[in-house]
Structure 1
Amino acid sequence: MGEVERGVTITVIGSCNVDFVVPVAELPGPGETVLGRDHLKTPGGKGANQAVAAARLGSRVVFVGCVGDDDLATTIRTALTDAGVELTWLHTAEDTPSGIALITVADGGENTIAVSPGANARLSPEHLNTSLLESTDVLLAQLEIPLEAVQAAVEAAHGRVLLNPAPARELPPELLARVDVLIPNRSELGVLAGAPEPTTTDEAAALARSLTGPSAVVVTLGADGALVVADDEVTHVPAVEVDAVDATGAGDAFCGALADALDRGSTLVEATRWAVRVAGISTTRQGAQTGMPRREDVS
C-alpha cells in the first residue's frame, strides 16, 4: 500500500475500538445492576490510544490495525486523523463490525472493561508492510490483536521494540527475546512470571528480574508510579499527585509517552518519568483518547 518514507519514528500495531463509557457512583458487583449517568461514546482500543498519546506529544506515528465496514469505523478513523496519526496501513475487514469496549467508570476513577474485538481479530501477518517495520525507530505493540500479527511485526522490526502485554497471557520465549522494553502492570507481570500479582515494589522487582528475554522491564504501578528494572538496577519513579476522575486509558497514555520519549533520545528512566507525568494528567480527564494530553499540557 504505497511507498514507505525513510525515517518513520514510531509505528504502533494494535487494536482500535469505539468505547461506550458509563459513569457510576460505584462499580457493580457480580449479578448487580447499578444506575449510571449519561453515557459517552469515544474512540478507544489500546493500540489506537497509544498511537494518539504519542502523536499528541508531537511524535510522528504510523498506525497498523483493522476496522470494520460500519459507521463506527468512521469514528475511529476521524479520531486518529485528527490526532495526526498516519493511517496508510489501517485496513478494513469486510462484513465485520469494528471493535467496541463497554466501560464502567466509578467516581474515584476505577473502571471495568469488556471488549468485543470485531475487526481487530482479523489483523494478520499479511497486513504488515516489511519496509515500514524496517524503517521505523520504535515499534509499540499490545495483545488485543492476534498474537501471530504481533510476532510477525516484532520479527520484522529493525528498531527498538516495546511490548505492552495486555490483556495478560503467557508469551512465547522467542517473542520475549526480541523485546527491548516490556511494559506490564502488576497483574500482567504476575501472569508472565507465573506467580501471584506482586503487592510491593520489591516483589514486582523480583518478578521482573525473573523474566527471561526482555532487555528491560517497566512495571506500571498506577497510583504508585512505575518501576524500571534494567541492567541489574531498579529505579522507582513515583506518581504525580492529581485529582483523578477517570483512569481509562492511563496505561495507554503511559506507553505512548514512553515511546515518544525514547524516540527523542531519553534514557529509560527519563522516559519513565515523562510517561508517569503524562499518564497522571490523562486521569484528570474523561475518556481514553479524549483524555490524552498534548505536549504543552505536561509541565
Structure 2
Amino acid sequence: MTSHNILAVGGAHVDRRGRMTGTFVPGASIPGAMREDVGGGAFNALRTAVQLGARGSIVSMRGGDAVGDAVARAIAQAGISDLSAVFLDRATPSYTALLDSEGDVVAALADMALYEIAFPKQLRRAKLRAEMAAADAVLCDANIPAAGLQRLAALGEGKPIFAIAISPAKAVRLTDILPALACLYMNRREAAALAGMGSDDPVEAIIDGLKARGLARGVVTQGSRTAIAFDAFHVLAIAPPAPRKIVDVTGAGDALAGAMTVALLEGLPLSQALRQGVAAALLAVESPTSTPELSRAAFADALALVSAPEEMR
C-alpha cells in the first residue's frame, strides 16, 4: 500500500456537543452532559485518512488562546504536520451542537469568524505553494470562503482535490470549483443546495443537477438511509448497517470522507471506496469522539457489516 501525502486545508477547531438525556422540548431546559474535543471537517477527515495509512499535513487558522493550544496538541497527537496560522488577538473557531437522546443534532452554532477573515489571505502564502507542490492530493472543506476555495483550486490544478460540503449554507461556496473536484462529500441537504434544488426532490434529480454543474464524482449521505456515490459511469447505493450502538452522529460524514479519499487515491473502484467510507462512518457513529479510533481489527469488523453497493441505474 502506498502512503499518499494529503494536504488538508480547512477546519481544525473545538467541537462541543451537548447530549440530552431527557426528551427535547423547544424553549425548555433539558438535562444532559456536555463534551468537548477537537474536530473540524478537514481535520476529522485527515485524521481518519492518516489512521488508514496516509501521511498528512493541515493548514487551518486558530487564535492564541487555550482552545488554540488544545487544537495544536490534537494535531500533533494525530501525527499530522501543522502548517496552521495563529492569530494571537483572535478567538479560535468553535462548533457547538445540541444532540437529542438518540444522538441526532437538534441545533448547532458555528463561531468561525476567523476562517472568514483569514483563509483568503493565508492561501496566498508562498509556503502554501511549496506544500501544495509536495502533496499527492488536497482535501478541503467549505469552512473556507468562496474566494479562498477558488484560489486553492488554482493552486492545486493538476492534483486531485477532494472536498467536504460542511453545511447547506456553506456548500454553495464550492459552486465555482465543482469541475475541479476529484470527489465531493455531502449530505442530501447540502447536495440539494449545490444543485439549486429542494432536499425533498428525488436524489437522482439532485445528482443530475450536480453533474450538470460540472461535478464528476460525489457522495450523498442520508443519515441512516442509503448512501449514494456517483461518477460518469455509475450511481451506486449502499444501505448503511444498523449501528451496534449510537453514541454520536457528529463526524460520521468526515470519517466517510477520509476513508474514501484514501481508497480512491489507492486506485480502488468507486464501489469499494464507498464500502470503506460507510464502514468508517459506522465506527464514527459508535464513537464518543468526532473521529473514531480506527484499528485494523475494528475497521475490518465494520467493513464486514457493509454490503456491496447496488447500481441505481
Q: Normalising by structure 2, what TM-score?
A: 0.85
CA RMSD of aligned residues (A): 2.0
Which letter does structure 1 place at the counterpart of 2:192?
G
Gaps of 5+ in 2: 301-313
The Cα offsets for residues 113-145 of structure 1, whole Å up to 9 and x where unpaired, read as 211014333222224611222332221111112
Q: Percent identity?
A: 22
Q: Is contact 2:41-2:164 (8 Å) kept?
A: no
Q: Is contact 1:9-1:263 (8 Å) kept?
A: no
Q: Distance in 2 between matches of 1:129 and 1:143?
A: 18
1:12 and 2:13 matched: no
Which letter does structure 1 place at the counterpart of 2:139?
L
Q: What is aligned with 1:215?
A: 216
Q: What is aligned with 1:55?
A: 50
Closer, same or farther: CA 68–171 of 1 in aligned 2, 3 Å: closer
Q: Is contact 1:53-1:257 (8 Å) kept?
A: yes
1:156 and 2:155 matched: yes
Q: Distance in 2 between matches of 1:119 and 1:173?
A: 22
The Cα offsets for residues 223-250 of structure 1, whole Å up to 9 and x where unpaired, read as 1241112124211122122121110111
Q: Is contact 1:27-1:105 (8 Å) kept?
A: no
Query: How many pairs were matched up?
Result: 287
Larger mean Cα displacement after TM superposition, 132-141 or 56-65: 132-141
Gaps of 5+ in 1: 1-6
Question: Structure 2 matches for 1:282-297, cutoff 5 A?
Answer: 282-289=284-291, 291-297=292-298
Q: Distance in 1 between matches of 2:115 and 2:5?
A: 23
Closer, same or farther: CA 9–251 of 1 in aligned 2, 3 Å: same
Q: Distance in 2 between matches of 1:260 and 1:80?
A: 19
Q: Distance in 2 between matches of 1:96 and 1:23?
A: 28
Q: Distance in 2 between matches of 1:173 and 1:20?
A: 29
Q: Secondary structure at the match of 1:129?
A: helix
Question: Structure 2 matches for 1:170-209, cutoff 5 A?
Answer: 170-171=172-173, 173-198=175-200, 203-209=202-208
Which letter does structure 1 place at the counterpart of 2:217?
A
The Cα offsets for residues 207-232 of structure 1, whole Å up to 9 and x where unpaired, read as 11222111112111221241112124
The Cα offsets for residues 178-202 of structure 1, whole Å up to 9 and x where unpaired, read as 1121221100011111111047xxx
Larger mean Cα displacement after TM superposition, 47-56 or 61-70: 47-56
Q: Is contact 2:62-2:86 (8 Å) kept?
A: yes
1:106 and 2:100 matched: yes
Q: What is aligned with 2:27?
A: 31
Q: Is contact 1:24-1:107 (8 Å) kept?
A: yes
Q: What is aligned with 1:4?
A: none
The Cα offsets for residues 91-122 of structure 1, whole Å up to 9 and x where unpaired, read as 11230010111121222120232110143332
